[in-house]
């Protein structure tokens, strides 16, 4: 086959591409607070978790899983007969973008999230040696492998609703040499038989905080989950109470299926609002967070009055039967019930 780059051993090419991705993520400072994650991303081969993926069909938001939409998807896979397409597949697996991995009737149902966002989330999870972690949304298994590298197989549990997804995740994990517990079920219910957990991380968007998660947490546990179009980190006091703020980071993920019809909240009604608000990503976050609780025009008045607040000014409190979002202060004047 000659000496062309296309003919190089795929293992060497993968190692080179993985090292480049690690450098790119590291340059953003994603894991300055916990350098062990740099080792994990350098060791876990992402291409084994995306033996095929889809490109095209429309834009995928750069900050998370996104939703490609449209038609014209092209599948790239590792068994391509054309070496040029194999190299394209491999290099694509190590780009810092989300990869669509499963489509159903043209709708994205699973993906491999953007690696730099994954690095940020894992760092913000603040894991410690010996922690037990529950991941909601197994996806390809790549995130579970990173966690298993850090903490060990026996301390990681990952769950997904779709048996095809969990079976695929098990295969990918085994191929990469990792064997955490993979469960098929409704992530909103958690996995009580493996509790208690010191950390819960979700890789799918929620619109409320499942009470089952709090009940399965150890005291002083952390929950990090996408909610609306942001990432909220909660500290769990006990089975009845948790509270925390959103991170500054935007995040767009596939909604958690089985979470009570939340996906419609991702597209709040914008009719009659000025373009300066409709086109502003932070205003759309406020609308998504308060959908059903705050009239869009009231939201606009609040947003203007508070000088276009960033995500990290918002927070979530769960207390007994109540759960609410708030701006600046959980007991302040701006608070909205969550479903």
**Which tokens belong to 268?**
């709040």
Pairing of strands 99-104, 107-112: antiparallel
Q: Are 210 and 169 in contact (CB under 8 A)?
A: no
Q: Which two tokens stand for residue 251?
A: 């995040």
Concerning whether 110 is annotated as a catalytic residue, the answer is yes
C-alpha–C-alpha distance, residues 125 and 127, integer Å? 6
Q: What are phi and psi of 256, to 5 degrees?
A: -65, 120
Residue 184's alpha-carbon distances to 151, 212, 304, in angstroms, are: 22, 16, 45
Q: HEC states along the chain?
A: CCCCHHHCCHHHHHHHHHHHHHHHHHHCCCCCCCCHHHHHHHHCCHHHHCCEEEECCCCCCCCCCCCCCCCCCEEEECCCCCHHHHHHHHHHHCCCCCEEEEEECCEEEEEECCHHHHHHHHHHCCCCCCCCEEEECCCCCHHHHHHHHHHCHHHEEEEECCHHHHHHHHHHHHHHCCCCEEEECCHHHCCHHHCCEEEEEECCEECCCCHHHHHCEEEEEEEEEEECCEEEEEEEEECCEEEEEEEEEECCCCECCCCCCHHHHHCCCCCCCCHHHHCCHHHHHHHHHHCCCCCHHHHHHHHHHCCCCCHHHEEEEEECCEEEEEECCCCCCCEEECC
Catalytic pick among 62, 67, 110, 208: 110
Question: Catalytic site residues?
Answer: 110
């Amino acid at each position: 086959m000659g000496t062309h780059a296309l003919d190089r051993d795929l293992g060497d090419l993968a190692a080179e591409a993985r090292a480049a991705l690690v450098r790119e993520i590291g340059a953003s400072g994603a894991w300055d607070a916990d350098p062990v994650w740099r080792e994990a991303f350098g060791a876990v081969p992402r291409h084994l978790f995306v033996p095929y993926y889809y490109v095209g069909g429309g834009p995928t938001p750069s900050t998370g899983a996104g939703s490609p939409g449209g038609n014209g998807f092209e599948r790239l896979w590792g068994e391509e007969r054309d070496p040029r397409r194999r190299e394209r597949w491999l290099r694509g697996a190590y780009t810092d973008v989300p990869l669509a991995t499963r489509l159903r009737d043209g709708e994205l149902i699973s993906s491999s999230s953007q690696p730099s966002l994954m690095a940020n989330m894992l760092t913000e999870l603040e894991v410690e040696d010996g922690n037990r972690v529950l991941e909601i949304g197994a996806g390809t298994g790549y995130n579970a492998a990173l966690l298993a590298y850090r903490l060990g197989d026996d301390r990681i549990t990952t769950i997904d609703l779709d048996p095809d997804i969990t079976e695929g995740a098990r295969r990918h994990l085994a191929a990469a040499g990792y064997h955490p517990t993979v469960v098929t079920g409704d992530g909103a219910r958690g996995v009580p038989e493996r509790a208690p957990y010191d950390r819960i991380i979700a890789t799918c968007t929620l619109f409320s905080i499942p009470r089952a998660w709090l009940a399965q947490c150890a005291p002083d546990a952390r929950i990090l989950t996408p909610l609306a179009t942001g990432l909220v980190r909660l500290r769990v006091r006990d089975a009845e109470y948790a509270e925390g703020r959103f991170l500054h980071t935007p995040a767009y993920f596939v909604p958690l299926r089985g979470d009570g019809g939340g996906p419609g909240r991702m597209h709040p009604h914008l009719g009659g609002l000025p373009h300066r608000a409709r086109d502003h990503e932070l205003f759309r976050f406020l609308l998504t967070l308060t959908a059903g609780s705050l009239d869009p025009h009231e939201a606009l008045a609040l947003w203007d009055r508070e000088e276009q607040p960033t995500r990290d000014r918002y927070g979530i409190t769960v207390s007994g039967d109540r759960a609410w979002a708030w701006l600046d202060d959980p007991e302040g004047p701006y608070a909205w019930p969550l479903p």
